Structures are given as structure tokens and as C-alpha cells.
Structure 1
Amino acid sequence: MTVDRAVLAFAGVMVLISVLLTTFISPLFIWFTVFIALNMFQSAFTGLCPAAMVFRKLGLKDDGTAKA
């Protein structure tokens, strides 16, 4: 698995978790979903993704198309 695919999978899982928390625990967990979306949005423009940095440190490899 590459870093890019791991980041996409991680973001998807986090969104699903936040939707479940919003539905079953508290509507205020919608802010968790907003945080995830804002992080993805800023990453698209800056190339800075904390999750990608963690996955690289864990040993996942880049696919060679983009370096952040």
C-alpha cells in the first residue's frame, strides 16, 4: 500500500467514524467531520498532510508521483 492510498483509506474511515459518532452519540461530533474536511482541503493546496507524514514514518512508500 502506498502513502496516498493509506491517506485516502484513513480519511474515509475517519469520516465514517465521525458520522457514526454524530448519529449515535452527539450532534456536536459534526465538528470532527468538519475538521477532517478542512484538513483535506488545506492539504490539497499546501501539500502538507500530517497523516502522510505518519504513514511515511511507519514505512509506507510513496508512489513516486508527488512529494509532500
Structure 2
Amino acid sequence: MSVERSIFAFAGFMVMLSLLLTTFVHPNFIWLTAFVGANLFQSAFTGFCPAAMLMKKMGIKTEAELARMK
């Protein structure tokens, strides 16, 4: 799995988790959902994504690196 696909999976998981926490734990967890959405929005324009940086350090390859390996 590439970094790009991992970001989609991680963001989806965080949104679902925050919605569950909002429903079953405390309504203020809705702010986690807002943070994830804002982070996705800003990364679309700036290209800066802390989760992607962490995943690269963990050794997950980007789509371009995987394509070069073929």
C-alpha cells in the first residue's frame, strides 16, 4: 500500500472513530472530525501532511517509488 492510499485509509478511520466517540462518549469529539477535515483540506492546497511524513519515516513508499520499482 502506498502513502497516498494509506492517507485515505487513515483519514477515513479517524473520521469514523471521531463520529463514534462523538456519539457514545462526548459531543466535543466532533472537533476531532473538524480537525481531520481541515487537515485534509489544507493538505490538498499546500501538500503538507504530517501523517504522510510519519508514514514515509515508517518506510511506506509513495506511488512514484512503487512505480519505479516495477
Shift of 1:51: 0.4
Which residues of structure 2 form unaligned runs of 5+? Answer: 65-70
Shift of 1:32: 0.5
Question: Comparing both structures, which one devotes a greater share of its residues to helix?
Answer: 2
Which residues of structure 1 form unaligned runs of 5+? Answer: none
Aligned to 1:2: 2
TM-score by structure 2 length?
A: 0.89
Shift of 1:15: 0.4
Aligned to 2:63: 63
Aligned to 1:32: 32
What amino acid is the match of 1:2?
Answer: S
The count of aligned residue pairs is 64
Shift of 1:27: 0.8
TM-score by structure 1 length?
A: 0.92
Computed over aligned residues only, the root mean square deviation of the Cα atoms, in angstroms, reads 0.4
Query: Share of identical aligned residues, percent?
Result: 58
Does the alignment pair 1:54 with 2:34?
no
Distance in 1, Cα, partners of 2:61 & 2:30:
32
